[in-house]
Structure 1
Amino acid sequence: MEILGLLGDGMLLSLQPLNLALIFVGVTLGLFIGAMPGLGSVNGVAILLPITFLVPPSSAIIFLAAIYYGAMYGGAISSITLGIPGASTAVATTFDGRPLALKGRASLALVTAAIASFIGGSVANILFTLFAPLLASVALSFGPPEIFALMLLAFATFVGLGGDDIPKTIFSICLGLVLASVGFDQISGAPRLVFFDISGFLHGINFLVLAIGVYGIGEMIWTIDSTRGKITSTEAKMSVKGIVADSKEGMRRGWKGTAVGSFLGFFVGILPAAGATPGSLMSYGVAKMLAKNPQEFGQGHPGGVAAPEAANNSASTGAMLPMLTLGIPGSPTTAILLGGMVIWGLTPGPRLFVDQSEFVWGLIGSFYVSNVAAVVVNLAFIPLFIWMLRMPFTILAPIIFVLSVTGGYAATKDMHDVWLMLLFGLSAFFLRKFDYPLAPAVLAIVLGPIAEPTLRQSLLLSSGDPSIFFTRPIAGPITVIAIILILLPLLKLIKDRIGGKRANA
């Protein structure tokens, strides 16, 4: 009851006229910041941080958290309407959101994304409110072996239960891991895979540059080639009745993905150095694994939109938990929020809930209000996003190209990455021509920089003994499940061959 009382006080604080106005301004700004390729919540919060010195610290953190929330919602917009991920957290949304838009079901994709985001945020808020100290201690129990086992499980969901050609899927993952290894070795500091001694490769390959190249430039070239230049515009209709119907269909077909994303996203979000991007990709893989017809994923399934959108919103709240309770940021955006709190004279950590109770519960209360404000603002702007799809492709293609180039440059401020993005776009086009799945490569370049150092740290801890992944109480079961999923295609092949021999006999 004490928690409910504190939460009530926090919500009343966030509903004060100044704070409520800041929440609506923040989620609206965040919506458009998230939808702009190359910006995302990290840049949005960093750019607008100086403005917060004009208001009290409690109002400042509420404003920045509202931008964070809005950006999580906004990332889906350009992923669905243009095929360009607004941020790395929305890459998985492109897998099914863009095919739905090309089928004239953009409204279904956008409404599903908004509702799944709202549910994911709500579940995360409740978990945050009730179990903050307990979950923080669970996050601390995850060492390198546990995190590597979790990464292995993410890869396994794509290999073991994908509808794609398994050898091609494995090739795609290996390609992504190679690209993730470019740059300086995180442990030894030695440069690796610096192709032709080009200095631009020293800082590695930025994931957002790869994502925009693959899903922005690559998708544009694919659309032009597959339609032989006879494109006019994407069919897109919008009405209040249609939104209600899309809401029902989206939840009926996407409830599993929403449930998976809400809980798995939050759990991954609370792990330091993980964040919303791995959470959304992992949730997509698990949702595909649990689906009755996994082969429909990637073709335009609402569950493929619901899972990553619920996950990235849930993970964004989860990433706040270690920041507030332990002083450890769970994502790049929360690292900036942590810096802002220090500037305002606040010290994140266990004592924050005692010494600055009003501040903490005001922030937690604002999560609930921001979540409602974000879904209202998002649904209100859906007609505008649908209108964008009615533009002729001859107009839309140059817009996609300009946004892609701008987003590729904004990610690192380096022209090397713009040329690299164009190369990735062409490569993605040819990979699609030969039916190679792109999603596993994208997954690998996100999870590779997390998986590799945790693997090496684990082996250093065990003096090279790989049994460390099986003997630890948390890492062991996760590793076993991952291995089973990886072996599933082989077991299925053996079963089919035995069945074929019996039929011939």
Structure 2
Amino acid sequence: MEILGLLGDGMLIALQPVNLLLIVIGVTVGLFIGAMPGLGSVNGVAILLPITFLVPPTGAIIFLAAIYYGAMYGGAISSITLGIPGASTAVATTFDGRPLAMQGRASLALVTAAIASFIGGTVANIIFTGFAPLLAGVALSFGPPEIFALMLLAFATFVGLGSDDIPKTIFSICFGLVLGAIGFDQISGAPRLVLFDMTGFLQGIGFLVLAIGVYGLGEMIWTIEQTRGDVENTTPRMTAKGMAEDTAESLRRGWRGTTIGSLIGFFVGILPAAGATPASLMSYGVTKMISRRPQDFGRGSVDGVAAPEAANNSASTGSMLPMLTLGIPGSPTTAILLGGMVIWGLTPGPRLFVDQTEFVWGLIGSFYISNVAALVINLAFIPVFIWMLRMPFTILAPVIFVLSIIGGYAATRDMFDIWMILVFGIGAFVLRRMDYPLAPAVLAIVLGPIAEPTLRQSLLLSGGDPMIFLNRPIAAPITIIAVILILLPLVKLFRKKKPA
């Protein structure tokens, strides 16, 4: 009951006129920041951080958290309408969101993304409110072996993300891991795979650069090649009745993905150095793996939109937990928020809940208010997003190309990344023509840079003994489950090869 009383006081603080205005502005700004390719929550919060010095610390963190929430919602917009991920957290949304839009069901995809995001955020808020100190201890117990075991579990779902051709899927995973290894070795500091001594490779292959190239330019070239530019627009006009029908359909067909994404997203989000991107990708893979119709994924599955969207919003709340309770940022965006708190004279850690009660519970109360505001604002703007799809493809294709180039340049301001986007776009088109799955390669480049250093750190801790992954109480069950999931497709493959 004490927690409910503190939460009620926090909501009253969040509902104060100034703070409520900051929430509405922050969510709206975040929505469009998330929708713009190349920006995302990290850049949005960093750019707008200086503005917050004009308001009290509580209002400042509420405003920045609202931007974070809005950006998580907004990332799905360009993923669905244009096929360009607004941020790395929305890449998995592209897998099924864009096919739905191409089938004339963009409204269903957008409504599903909004509702799943709201449910994911709400579930995360409730868990955060009730179990913050306990979960902070769990997150702290995750060392390199546990994080590698979790990454191995994510890799185990990759085979399910590909086609039935397992060798091609494994090739796609390995190709992504090679791309993820380009640049400086995180442990020894030695340069690796620097092709032709080009200095641009020293900074590594940016995940957003790969995602924009594959799902922006690659998808555009594929559509042009398949349709010769004659794309029929079947997107209906939005009405209140149509939105109500889409809401009912998204709840009926997307409940499994929403549930999985909400839970996995939060628990991956609380892990330091994990964040919303791995959470959304893992949720997508797990949802497909246990689905009754896995063949629908990649072709316009509602569950395939709901799972990553619920996960990235749930993870965004989860990443706040280690920041507030331990002073350890759970994602790049919360690292910027942590810096802001230090500037405002606040010390994150266990004492924050005791010494700054009003600040902490005002922030937690704002999570609930921001979540509702983001849902309402997102649904209100869906007709505007649908209008974008009514443009002829002869206009839309150049828009996609320009946004892809601008988005890639805005992230790093390096022309080398622009050339990489062009190379990845053409390469993705060629691989798709050869029927190679692209999703496993994209996911491998995300988790590879996390899995490799944690594997090596684990082996350094154990003196090279791989049994460390089976001797630790948290890592062992995760590793065993991952190995079983990896072996299952191989068993199916051998069964198929047996003569009748």
TM-score range relative to shorter protein:
over 0.9
Which range moves more in the overlay, 230-239 or 343-352?
Answer: 230-239
Match of 1:399 in 2: 399
Q: Show CA shifts across 1:256-307 (max 9, x none).
A: 1000100000000000000000000000000001100111100000000000
Report the Cα distance in structure 2 between the residues aligned to 1:497 and 1:220, rounded to whole angstroms. Answer: 37
The reply on whether 1:418 has 2:410 as its aligned counterpart is no
Report the Cα distance in structure 2 between the residues aligned to 1:413 and 1:209, rounded to whole angstroms. Answer: 12
Match of 1:231 in 2: 231
Q: Show CA shifts across 1:151-202 (max 9, x none).
A: 0111111215754311111100000000000000000000000111000110
- What is the one-letter code of the residue matched to 1:207? F
Identity %: 81
Residue 478 of structure 1 deviates from its aligned partner by 0.9
Residue 356 of structure 1 deviates from its aligned partner by 0.4
Residue 223 of structure 1 deviates from its aligned partner by 0.6
In the superposition, the TM-score normalised over structure 1's length comes to: 0.98
Match of 2:303 in 1: 303
Quick check: 1:161–1:488 contact (8 Å CA) kept in 2? Answer: no
Quick check: 1:128–1:321 contact (8 Å CA) kept in 2? Answer: yes
- What is the one-letter code of the residue matched to 1:324? L
Report the Cα distance in structure 2 between the residues aligned to 1:111 and 1:118, rounded to whole angstroms. Answer: 11
Match of 2:69 in 1: 69
Report the Cα distance in structure 2 between the residues aligned to 1:113 and 1:223, rounded to whole angstroms. Answer: 23
Report the Cα distance in structure 2 between the residues aligned to 1:358 and 1:162, rounded to whole angstroms. Answer: 49
Match of 1:493 in 2: 493
Q: Show CA shifts across 1:129-156 (max 9, x none).
A: 0000000000011111111111011111
Report the Cα distance in structure 2 between the residues aligned to 1:57 and 1:447, rounded to whole angstroms. Answer: 35
Residue 497 of structure 1 deviates from its aligned partner by 4.6
Quick check: 2:110–2:382 contact (8 Å CA) kept in 1? Answer: yes
- What is the one-letter code of the residue matched to 2:179? L
Match of 1:390 in 2: 390
Quick check: 1:113–1:305 contact (8 Å CA) kept in 2? Answer: yes
Residue 495 of structure 1 deviates from its aligned partner by 3.3
In the superposition, the TM-score normalised over structure 2's length comes to: 0.99
Report the Cα distance in structure 2 between the residues aligned to 1:246 and 1:165, rounded to whole angstroms. Answer: 34
Report the Cα distance in structure 2 between the residues aligned to 1:236 and 1:396, rounded to whole angstroms. Answer: 17
Quick check: 1:53–1:60 contact (8 Å CA) kept in 2? Answer: yes
Report the Cα distance in structure 2 between the residues aligned to 1:8 and 1:163, rounded to whole angstroms. Answer: 49
Tell me how many residue pairs correspond in the alignment: 500
In structure 2, relative to structure 1, the CA distance for the partners of 1:162 and 1:176 (3 Å cut) is: closer
Report the Cα distance in structure 2 between the residues aligned to 1:155 and 1:245, rounded to whole angstroms. Answer: 36
In structure 2, relative to structure 1, the CA distance for the partners of 1:234 and 1:422 (3 Å cut) is: farther
Quick check: 2:104–2:233 contact (8 Å CA) kept in 1? Answer: no
Residue 235 of structure 1 deviates from its aligned partner by 2.8
Residue 314 of structure 1 deviates from its aligned partner by 0.2
Residue 232 of structure 1 deviates from its aligned partner by 5.0
Report the Cα distance in structure 2 between the residues aligned to 1:63 and 1:231, rounded to whole angstroms. Answer: 41
- Aligned CA RMSD, in angstroms, stands at 1.0
Q: Show CA shifts across 1:201-238 (max 9, x none).
A: 10101100100010001011111000023235453432
Instruction: Identify unmatched segments of 5+ residues in structure 1.
Output: none
Residue 346 of structure 1 deviates from its aligned partner by 0.4
Quick check: 1:212–1:421 contact (8 Å CA) kept in 2? Answer: yes
Q: Show CA shifts across 1:19-70 (max 9, x none).
A: 0011000000000000000000000000100110110000000000000000
Report the Cα distance in structure 2 between the residues aligned to 1:236 and 1:330, rounded to whole angstroms. Answer: 40
Report the Cα distance in structure 1 between the residues aligned to 2:271 and 2:203, rounded to whole angstroms. Answer: 25
Counterpart secondary structure, 1:94: helix
Report the Cα distance in structure 2 between the residues aligned to 1:229 and 1:220, rounded to whole angstroms. Answer: 10
Report the Cα distance in structure 2 between the residues aligned to 1:245 and 1:364, rounded to whole angstroms. Answer: 33
Match of 1:355 in 2: 355
Q: Show CA shifts across 1:323-356 (max 9, x none).
A: 0000000000000000000010101001100010
Match of 1:204 in 2: 204
- What is the one-letter code of the residue matched to 2:379? L
